[in-house]
Structure 1
C-alpha cells in the first residue's frame, strides 16, 4: 500500500519549554546592570589613570534598533560585541561628547569638547573607543562568569547603525544605561542593548544545570566586587606620648626626638593587619612585610 506524504511532527510547547519573554528578562538584566556598576569602574579608571569613577545603572527599557537610531541622532560610536563562541550580538553605544571629553583628559586636559563636533571621529578617538570597548567587554565577561561560553569580545564598530546592522531593525531589545560620574568632569553615559536570544543565552540557566547546580561560593578578597575596592592602609612609623604641658608649649622650630620602631604596624580602619620593617626601594621609603595576620 502506498503511503501518503508524511506531516511534520508537532511537539507540545509544555514539553519543549517556551523561551523567556522580554518581560522575563527585565529583572535578570537589572541585576546584571548592578554587577556591571561595581565591576566597570576599574576598567574605566585605567583609561585615564585616575581614581575609579562612580557608575550607576538605570532600569531596563524595551526598544528596537529603530528607536535607538532615533534617540541617538548625531555623532555616536556603536560597537557590536559578540557573546560566546557563536558571537551572539549585543550593542554598546557611546555618545560623541563623552568620547571627546575623555580623550582630552587622557592627554592631560580638563575634558574640553570641540565646538562644533566633527562629522567623524579622528584616529585618536577611534583608538580610545577600542579601549572603552575592551573595558566594557571585560566587565561583561567577568560578571557573566568569565568562562568561554560567556566571554564577550568586540567585533566591529561604526557610527551608522544601518551600516553596522547588528540585528534586525524591528527585533525586540532590552536596553540599559550606565551613568558614569568622575571627579572634576561632567557625568556621561553609555548604553547597552541586548536581543532576547542573547539575553537568554547569557542569563538563563537550563533546567538540567539548575538541578545540578551547587551552592554558590561566596566571593573572596581576590574576586569582584571586593578585588577593586580601595582601602586606606596606614603605616605607623612613630607612636609617642607627650604630656599636655609639653604639647601646649610647642612652637615652630621645636625639635621632638623620635625613634622609629623596628616593627612598623600596618593598619586598616584602626586594626593592625600586618607588621614590617622600614626600608628603601628606588629612593622611596618602603615597608617590607614580616608578618601578616
Structure 2
C-alpha cells in the first residue's frame, strides 16, 4: 500500500456530495448511531411458527376430549394462528383476576404459561354439577373450593395434551411451578421479551366461545427451532399420505343401501287388475339370490335363518373391478 490516498480530499467530497452525504458531517463525525438490540428476539422471526400452528391443530382435537367430561357436552375447539408479541403487551390486556398457571418445560429453556378465564371455569362447574353451563354475571376476586378442584383437574388435562403433542418434537414433561390469579405475578418473561401466544376458542351450548391461551417465551422456541422446522417438513411430506388415509376412512364409513330379490313373478295386466286380498301368487325361489347395490349384483347367496331372523349367506362374490 502507499501512504498517499488514491483520491484527493476534493474528489472524496465530490463523491460524497453526489451521494447526498454532507462532507462536513464526515469531517466532524456528526453521524448519529441508531440503537440496535443485539440478540433481540423480535429482530428475526421464528421460521418454524407454521409447525407450532400444526401442533395446535392437533392439540385442539385432543382438548375436546379433555373438556367434554366437565362440560357434559361435546365442545368445539378451534386453534387460532400463533401470534408473537412482547409479554408486557399481552399482560396489559389481561383482567385483574384470572387463572394463570406457570410450568417448567425441561429440557426446553424457559417455561410455559396457561391462562384460563374464570368465567369459563364457573361455566364448567355449573355444567359439571347438572346446570345449564350458561354464563353467570358474577364478579369474583377468588375461586370457590369447587372451582379450584375443577380448575386443577382441567389444567392437568390441558397440560397433559401439551406434553403429548410436544413429545413429537422435543420430549418434555411440563411441571407446575406456580399458580397465580394476578397477572402482575405471572413472571414468564421480562416485559419487553417476545412470547408466542397459542389461542384456543372453546364453545358449547349457546354462549360465546371462551379463549384458553398458552404462552411460550420465544427464546424457548429458538432452542428447538431446528426440531420444529424438521417436524414441519415431515408433516408436509406426510400430508398427502394423511389425506389419502382420511379419505379412505371417510369413504369406508359411507352408508349404502343393499337389497336382495327373492323372486320376480310375472303377471299379465288383466291378472294385475284382478288382484284382491287373499289371492296367492306362486313363486319359485332360485338356488342363489343376488345382493344388489344400486341395481348392480355384488354377491350371490342362499336364504336361511340366523338368530331367529331371515338372513342371506354369501356364497359367491362378483368381480369388483370398476366398469370401463
Distance 1:163 1:197 in 2: 20
1:137 is displaced (CA, Å) by: 1.0
State the match for 1:149 in structure 2. 171
Query: Does residue 181 of the first structure (1) align with residue 207 of the second (2)?
Result: no
Distance 1:77 1:58 in 2: 20
Kept after mapping to 1: 8 A contact 2:46/2:222: no
CA RMSD of aligned residues (A): 4.2
Secondary structure of the structure 2 residue equivalent to 1:24: coil
1:105 is displaced (CA, Å) by: 0.6
State the match for 1:89 in structure 2. 111
Query: Which of residues 8, 16, 23 is equivalent to 2:46?
Result: 23
Distance 1:34 1:93, change over 3 A: same
Distance 1:184 1:160 in 2: 29
Kept after mapping to 2: 8 A contact 1:58/1:178: yes
Question: Structure 2 stretches of 5 or more lacking a match?
Answer: 1-40, 240-245, 263-305, 308-324
Question: Structure 1 stretches of 5 or more lacking a match?
Answer: 1-17, 219-224, 243-276, 279-293
State the match for 1:168 in structure 2. 190
1:240 is displaced (CA, Å) by: 10
State the match for 1:133 in structure 2. 155
Distance 1:116 1:181, change over 3 A: closer
Distance 1:87 1:104, change over 3 A: farther
Distance 1:141 1:63, change over 3 A: same
Distance 1:21 1:137, change over 3 A: farther
Distance 1:115 1:47 in 2: 20
Distance 1:125 1:143 in 2: 27
Kept after mapping to 2: 8 A contact 1:21/1:196: no
**TM-score of the superposition, structure 1-length normalised?**
0.59
1:25 is displaced (CA, Å) by: 3.8
**TM-score of the superposition, structure 2-length normalised?**
0.54
1:124 is displaced (CA, Å) by: 1.4
State the match for 2:270 in structure 1. none
Secondary structure of the structure 1 residue equivalent to 2:189: coil
Secondary structure of the structure 2 residue equivalent to 1:177: strand
Query: Does residue 42 of the first structure (1) align with residue 68 of the second (2)?
Result: no
1:57 is displaced (CA, Å) by: 1.0
Distance 2:155 2:125 in 1: 14
Distance 1:86 1:184, change over 3 A: same
Secondary structure of the structure 2 residue equivalent to 1:165: coil
State the match for 2:96 in structure 1. 74
Residue-pair matches, total = 216
Kept after mapping to 2: 8 A contact 1:144/1:202: no
Q: Deviations over 1:203-224 (max 9, x none)?
A: 53299x99xx9xx999xxxxxx
Distance 1:206 1:93 in 2: 24
Query: Does residue 60 of the first structure (1) align with residue 82 of the second (2)?
Result: yes
